[in-house]
């Protein structure tokens, strides 16, 4: 199958991951985040086993959709749990994001290696084993879900009620949506893009077989995400020390020139530009997640993160078709021009948000 066909197999997974986050967030607020996470691990494990047993593109698409539906629990349940139960919220959300990035960094390398050694189904078998293991572990893990009262929440930020600030809330989540789409494009494209335009590692290692060349691109992708982990730690620390809106603006603005460089760069230059872009793009996560906590009431916190996941990952799933259309119309590198345009719109949206919420404090401390 060609790249466009393979990418489309994952569309129901990305869509389910996003769209089901909102009802799962409501479920977590109603029945508890720990119970939701247990369902997440067992559901994704079963979906991965279904993928291993699939024998046609349609069966693969459906089994991936099962993975997406249950994986959609992760963001609202885990971040709701953290934002309510940890005092240093920004740093804790940064650590949570780092854990996710370790998965993102390890996945391309592990999938490429397992594919090279024994075929693609082995990668999904490994995912099933990991998911089911953590599901069992969570069954025997006790978590105190009693919310802490953060100092800044003793005097509510939105003194006039959330309805009075509805325009700013809508604008904020619109910015979140554009950011999710811009970054999702990078996640979808980066391994194939590096395989196409950054062959220096495969040439250095004298890789000739297609699967080995793919593995070399996976290694580069993993290294880039490891750099991004530093960005998440940095962003988390900054979120507990500085005004969140300014950080949101600065991190997005700094990422802009590097995503444009990715559209035109090759080899080592492309690799470095990608690493810097991902550093700031991932560094935005704890800042943005802290802002989500500020924009949502405590009793609906997991639902708020579920809504964000719908917008980030549900709308972000359209990146599959956007990438395919751009590649057919121009070339694969043009998708980063589109990402750059969206980041410009994001920066403009944040500046407007800062103006209309100038009478509100947005600090984690």
Q: What is the pLDDT of residue 159?
A: 57
Q: Which long-range contacts does 118-124 make (Cβ < 8 Å, 24+ apart)?
A: 121/51, 121/52, 124/48, 124/49, 124/51, 124/52
- Structure tokens given for 306: 């579920």
User: How far is residue 305 from each of residues 33, 51, 90, 112, measured CA to CA in Å?
Assistant: 12, 28, 15, 32
Tens digit of each residue's pLDDT, the chain (365 residues): 877 788 788 888 988 887 898 899 889 988 988 999 999 999 999 999 999 999 999 999 999 999 999 999 988 998 888 888 887 888 888 888 888 878 777 787 788 888 888 888 999 999 999 999 999 999 998 888 887 765 445 445 555 555 557 788 889 999 999 988 888 888 788 888 888 888 888 888 777 777 778 878 888 888 898 888 899 889 988 988 889 999 999 999 999 999 999 999 889 999 999 999 999 998 998 899 889 888 887 778 888 888 888 887 777 777 777 887 887 787 888 889 989 999 999 999 999 999 888 777 777 65
Cα–chain center distance at 218: 18
Q: What is the pLDDT of residue 152?
A: 47
Nearest to 289 by CA among 155, 25, 97, 71: 97
Q: What is the pLDDT of residue 150?
A: 54
- Indicate the domain borders of the chain: 3-356
Dihedral pair phi/psi, residue 242, rounded to 5°: -130, 165
Q: Which CATH architecture has domain 3-356?
A: Up-down Bundle (1.20)
Nearest to 309 by CA among 28, 32, 95, 14: 14
Q: What is the pLDDT of residue 175?
A: 93
Dihedral pair phi/psi, residue 145, rounded to 5°: -100, 15
DSSP H stretches of helix in the chain: 3-9, 11-19, 21-31, 33-53, 57-71, 74-85, 89-118, 120-139, 166-197, 200-204, 210-239, 244-264, 267-295, 301-309, 319-329, 335-356
């Amino acid at each position: 199958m060609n790249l466009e066909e393979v990418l489309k197999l994952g569309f129901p997974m990305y869509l389910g991951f996003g769209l089901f986050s909102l009802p799962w967030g409501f479920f977590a607020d109603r029945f508890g985040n720990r119970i939701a996470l247990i369902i997440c691990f067992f559901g994704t494990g079963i979906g991965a086993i279904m993928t291993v047993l699939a024998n046609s593109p349609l069966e693969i698409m459906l089994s991936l959709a099962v993975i997406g539906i249950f994986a959609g629990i992760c963001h609202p349940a885990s971040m709701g749990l953290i934002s309510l139960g940890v005092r240093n919220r920004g740093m804790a959300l940064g650590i949570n994001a780092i854990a996710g990035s370790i998965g993102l960094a390890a996945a391309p390398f592990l999938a490429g290696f397992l594919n090279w050694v024994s075929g693609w189904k082995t990668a999904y078998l490994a995912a099933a084993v990991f998911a089911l293991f953590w599901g069992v572990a969570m069954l025997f893990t006790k978590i105190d879900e009693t919310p802490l009262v953060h100092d800044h929440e003793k005097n509510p930020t939105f003194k006039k009620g959330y309805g009075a600030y509805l325009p700013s809330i809508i604008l904020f989540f619109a910015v979140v949506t554009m950011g999710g789409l811009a970054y999702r494009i990078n996640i979808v494209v980066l391994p194939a893009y590096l395989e196409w335009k950054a062959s220096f590692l495969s040439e250095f290692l004298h890789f000739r077989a297609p699967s080995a060349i793919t593995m070399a691109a996976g290694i580069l992708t993993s290294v880039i995400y490891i750099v991004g982990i530093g960005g998440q730690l940095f962003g988390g620390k900054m979120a507990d020390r500085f005004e969140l809106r300014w950080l949101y603006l600065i991190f997005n603005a700094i990422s802009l020139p590097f995503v444009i460089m990715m559209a035109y760069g090759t080899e080592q230059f492309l690799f470095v530009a990608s690493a810097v872009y991902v550093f700031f793009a991932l560094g935005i996560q704890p800042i943005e997640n802290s802002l989500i906590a500020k924009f949502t009431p405590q009793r609906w916190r997991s639902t708020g993160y579920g809504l964000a996941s719908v917008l980030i990952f549900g709308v972000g799933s359209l990146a599959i078709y956007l990438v395919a259309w751009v590649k057919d119309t121009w070339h694969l590198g043009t998708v980063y021009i589109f990402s750059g345009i969206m980041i410009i719109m994001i920066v403009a949206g944040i500046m407007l948000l800062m103006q209309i919420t100038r009478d509100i404090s947005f600090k984690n401390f």
